[in-house]
Structure 1
Amino acid sequence: MKNNIKIKFIQIKQLYSKGFFHIIGSSILNKIMQFCSGIFIVRVLSKEEFGIFTYAQNLLAFFLLINGLGINSGFLQYGSRNSENEELKNSIANYSLKYGVGINLLISFLIIAYSIFGKFKVEEARIIFRMMLFFPIIVLVIEMIQIYLRVNLKNKEMAKVSNLNTFFNLIGMLLGGYIYGIMGLIVGKYIGNLISIFNCWKYLKIIYLNNILNISQELKKEMIKFSIVAVFNNGISQLLYIIDIFLIGIIIADKNIIASYKTATLIPFALNFIPLSVMTYLYPYIAKNIENKVILRKYLKYLLIYLGGINLIISIGLILFSKLIIIIIFGRNYLDSRNIFIILSLGYFIAGTFRIPFGNMLAAMGKLKCNFYTTLFGGILNIVLDILLIKKYGSIGAAIATISIFIFSSILGGYFIKKNLKI
């Protein structure tokens, strides 16, 4: 008994020294700050204004589906694989940053073009969307800094960078929104991100000023191929979280309904940080042990038992206290979102326990084709179900479509995990 306790203590100590608790703590703090920011936006803006902001923000998310053409995933994968080769690792970081910024400059031009010539169902969102044109570049730079730290297993530093970035954004949006409303929110977010980049300048210098590009053309092609497949997989996965509001905006085109649906998603979707934090920590270790199925099976077992138990407790709590949660956090004005909130809270358990861990584990194992098929079929089914169910049941139909895709993706992802680990 004493030996078991001693072993557990040593294991916990090892996790602490490797930065596991820093990542978890950072993610919790980040989500608390992001969630507080979301509550502030809901409270400070009228329901119509929040609907306008959500419409513009959702449209930006569509453009960011091709963020850097997935080079962030390529950097994480190939940087982790070559973590022992300092020169090659830094060269991969440099190449990834320059490639990604180039791609996102094109995305910014597309945002300008769409804001001028595109059709907006919520016309008031046009100018708000145009103001967001530099976000793709800023987002990519901050992501690259964080991935650089992950690749180097500097989890404590990454946690600090992530926390400060969220903090600066929160303060910027709070002050900007309080003084100037929707436009102030955007300006404040810009200021917060720029302060974050300045704060991380010492890491950015290491990445950008390393001009020794010791990367073969073959490796570049391999990275780009991996990245494009990854951005497609991640894009369709992310589409699951943004297509609902987009189609509600097209089919129903009601700012108040958009606002209510978005409010219902805030807590269930924000809770994805729990499985994502765990997978953020595990990803480099899984990538290093892709040939060791014994270790991978052990990771999977712990994920299903411990992560599943935590997620079950959370989902039950959200469902039982749904009315009280909405009244206290968002106000009675948003009680019409309760049924959607309940459906998506159940969806969190499914996504957080199965869909997200399975998808991330397959990606770390390099099984992109498995994720490709899961996301492709899931994405097509998601769009079809959304169109049919939103037309028939309104915004509740969108929530039903979302949980249906969570179930479908989890089953298919579980099949591929079982096949590859030979369980």
Structure 2
Amino acid sequence: MDSIKTYIKNFLSRKGGWVFSSMIIGKLFIFFSSWIALKLLPQDDLGYLLFALNIILFFVPISGLGATHGLLRFGSFQETSDSRQNLLREVLIKGFIFSTILMGSIIVMSRFLTIKMPGSQFYLLGLSFLILTLFFLEAIKTYYRIIGKNEIYAKIEITNALILLPAVFITCYFFGIWGYLSTLVLTPMLATLVYFPKNIIQTSTSGNKLLGIDFWKYSVFTGLSNSVTQLLAIADIFLIGYLLKDPAQVTFYKYLSLIPLSLVLLPNAFLMTDFVSLTTHIKNSRYISQYIKQYISLLIIILLGIWTIHFIFIEDILKFLGRDFLPYKKVYLFLLFGVTAVILLRILFGNLLSAFGKARINFWIASFSVVINLLLNLYFIPTQGILGAAITSCLTMWISSLLSMFCVYYFLKKSGK
């Protein structure tokens, strides 16, 4: 119990309370925004848009050639504010160029990417601009993390959420599905403009010396790893759309996964707050081992509470989404069990591998898991529908989580010698 208290104390000292609060507000507002869209928009149109959105979310981690990931790790080692500002400036310039190329590539490939659901093509064209707006938002958020201002990072998250919720209601009510799409694209840019660090414009151009081969190798592999990990989350949506060709089933599965996936906000808050500290202490095996012990002890207690609530209120949770969701109780519970592995193991050990600089390991674990996911989905979805997709997600979440854990303990043992 003392170790848990120490963990929470250290978390709060790094403004973790701000990060956690912002993520709760952000997830709640995103959830309610999605719920508003579900109630106000035609189900088939929403299904087509969600299919296109999942395609974009797959590419988002490699926007800017993954430069925001490099900014986080390499920025953590910079000793002066000028060097961090120069690094951010070069990330923004080069990231904008690479993001524009990626956006153009998606536009060119849009017909191919939506060949099985052609009703999604025009939505994909509009949503492609998210590549740019989300890149700038993530770069500015990352900058405030590496300079130790987690409270400003949190304020950006809150601002984004505060803009999103009323905007979704207004635009969906008056402009329908295209109003919803416009809100999704423009909201990140508005939040970015509010907190854009003005002094970055005046910094020198010497920061490009910081973006060497090691920076780009780490950035690209981390971006690819996150994209492949994102594919694990959205492969089900792709294959449900391709195999069942039913946008209504896409909508059901997407909304059933909202609450389970939202639960990862707590471990994400911990690791987002602590990543810079973990990176600077990554060669101290005793420090890392103690952190793992404290984290897992706390998360076991939290997960017991989550499962208790679900066993008691599962039907009420599904009714909140709508009575049409009640027949999908097993789908929801399989997704929740898979997310349990992500909360307890995957987020922690995946971030530790990144802190070790082992982005390639994360990439190969994610790639292996995707192969398993695709093979199992191709078998289960035609016979079990979206329940098969949930079973597959559950299995692959546990496989990737356990592999990450084994790799971290291998490197810890190796570094401890």
| TM bracket (short chain) | over 0.9
Of 336, 349, 364 in structure 2, the residue corresponding to residue 358 of structure 1 is 349
Q: Is the partner of 1:120 in helix, strand or coil?
A: coil
Post-superposition offset of 1:247: 0.8
Post-superposition offset of 1:356: 1.4
* 2:290 maps to amino acid: K
How is 1:343-382 mapped onto 2 (pairs within 5 angstroms)? 343-382=334-373
Deviation digits for residues 261-312 of structure 1 (CA, Å, limit 9, x no counterpart): 1111110111111111111011000001011111111110011110122123
- Find out whether 1:140 has 2:141 as its counterpart: no
* 1:353 maps to amino acid: L
Matches of 2:290 and 2:40 in 1, distance apart? 47
- Find out whether 1:252 has 2:279 as its counterpart: no
Of 388, 394, 398 in structure 2, the residue corresponding to residue 403 of structure 1 is 394
How is 1:15-414 mapped onto 2 (pairs within 5 angstroms)? 15-82=11-78, 84-115=79-110, 119-201=114-196, 203=197, 205-216=198-209, 219-327=211-319, 329-414=320-405
Post-superposition offset of 1:337: 2.8
Matches of 1:232 and 1:397 in 2, distance apart? 26
Matches of 1:10 and 1:252 in 2, distance apart? 50
Post-superposition offset of 1:195: 2.4
Matches of 1:223 and 1:314 in 2, distance apart? 39
Q: Aligned pair in 2 of structure 1 residues 255, 14: CA closer, same or farther (>3 Å)?
A: closer
Matches of 2:9 and 2:310 in 1, distance apart? 32
Q: Is the partner of 2:205 in helix, strand or coil?
A: coil
Post-superposition offset of 1:80: 0.5
Task: Compare relative contact order (CA 8 Å, sep 6+) and give the higher one, 1 or 2.
Answer: 2
Q: Is the partner of 2:252 in helix, strand or coil?
A: helix
Q: Aligned pair in 2 of structure 1 residues 208, 226: CA closer, same or farther (>3 Å)?
A: farther
Matches of 1:353 and 1:199 in 2, distance apart? 35
How many equivalent pairs are there?
414
Q: Is the partner of 1:216 in helix, strand or coil?
A: helix
Matches of 1:55 and 1:12 in 2, distance apart? 39
Q: Contact (CA 8 Å) 1:79, 1:89: kept in 2 or not?
A: yes
Deviation digits for residues 212-249 of structure 1 (CA, Å, limit 9, x no counterpart): 324437x5211001111111211111111011100111
Q: Which runs of structure 1 show a deviation greater than 4 angstroms over 4 or more consecutive aligned residues? A: 7-15, 116-119
Q: Which moved more, 1:52-61 or 1:238-247?
A: 52-61
Q: Contact (CA 8 Å) 2:26, 2:161: kept in 1 or not?
A: yes
Task: State the identity as a percent.
Answer: 26
Matches of 1:410 and 1:196 in 2, distance apart? 33
Deviation digits for residues 169-217 of structure 1 (CA, Å, limit 9, x no counterpart): 222222111111111112223443332122123x1x3334423324437
Matches of 1:363 and 1:14 in 2, distance apart? 21
Q: Which moved more, 1:145-154 or 1:125-134?
A: 125-134
Q: Aligned pair in 2 of structure 1 residues 336, 259: CA closer, same or farther (>3 Å)?
A: farther
Tell me how large the CA RMSD over aligned residues is. Answer: 2.2
Q: Which runs of 5+ in 1 are unaligned?
A: none
Matches of 1:267 and 1:8 in 2, distance apart? 26
Matches of 2:213 and 2:324 in 1, distance apart? 52
Matches of 2:370 and 2:113 in 1, distance apart? 24
Normalization by structure 2: what TM-score? 0.93
Q: Contact (CA 8 Å) 1:97, 1:141: kept in 2 or not?
A: yes
Normalization by structure 1: what TM-score? 0.92
Q: Is the partner of 1:124 in helix, strand or coil?
A: helix
Q: Aligned pair in 2 of structure 1 residues 171, 192: CA closer, same or farther (>3 Å)?
A: farther
Post-superposition offset of 1:118: 5.2
Matches of 1:319 and 1:340 in 2, distance apart? 14
Q: Is the partner of 2:169 in helix, strand or coil?
A: helix
- Find out whether 1:417 has 2:408 as its counterpart: yes
Q: Which moved more, 1:97-106 or 1:181-190?
A: 181-190
Q: Contact (CA 8 Å) 1:275, 1:356: kept in 2 or not?
A: yes
Q: Contact (CA 8 Å) 1:72, 1:144: kept in 2 or not?
A: yes
Matches of 2:386 and 2:224 in 1, distance apart? 27
* 1:102 maps to amino acid: I
Matches of 1:56 and 1:214 in 2, distance apart? 36
Q: Contact (CA 8 Å) 1:239, 1:379: kept in 2 or not?
A: yes
Q: Contact (CA 8 Å) 1:319, 1:342: kept in 2 or not?
A: no
Matches of 1:9 and 1:261 in 2, distance apart? 38
